[in-house]
Amino acid sequence: MSEFKEISTEELKKNPFQMIGKEWMLIAAAKAGKANAMTASWGGVGVMWNKPVAYIAIRQTRYTKEFVDNGEKLSLNFFGEAFRKELAYFGKTSGRDEDKIAKTGMKVRIDDGAPIFEDAETVFVCKKLFASTYAPENFIDKSILDKFYNGDSMHTLYIVEIEKMLTK
């Protein structure tokens, strides 16, 4: 049985800049009964359309994007420092090549259409609201294109409603 308890978004005590930018997160989604996840350190939280939201960016070539695009729900899973090695592995290995979840021994369950990692400290269960692919002509600061893209595929920006926040 899970140790998670549901809290309101206002009860989150952790700093989202630390959670996303420093500790990283696993973006997870399900397709055809299978879960897949990727490590991410870009994103944010806030309020949009009078809803608590998170925003994430996924490069078009990532296998996890197929899972995110397939369904309506996804999860953002945040872990303690003890899982740094596993998060690094999720970031450098494609789910196209092997079952990353099985390989790391992490436990995952599907909750309301979204994969929940049992070892996470905090989980946002989210519903997709918006998606748009970055276009080079929309960048005001063109140095970002050279630094982060330089001929590589663009990201798709997702704005997702935080429907449920779970913590231990």
Residue with tokens 């050279």: 146
Per-residue tokens: 114: 């979204």
Taking alpha carbons only, the member of 67, 61, 137, 135 closest to residue 101 is 67
User: Residue 13's pLDDT is what?
Assistant: 92
1 band by pLDDT with thresholds 50, 70 and 90 = very low
For residue range 9-51, what is the model confidence (pLDDT) as tens digits? 999 999 999 999 999 899 999 999 899 999 999 999 999 999 9
Give the C-alpha separation, 5 to 168, whole Å: 6
DSSP-derived letter for residue 154 is: P
Structure tokens at 26: 């696993």
Tokens 């996924």 belong to: 58
The pLDDT tens digits of the residues spanning 76-118 come to 999 999 999 999 999 998 999 899 999 999 999 998 899 999 9
pLDDT at residue 2, as a whole number: 64
What whole-number distance in Å separates Cα of residue 48 and Cα of residue 127? 13
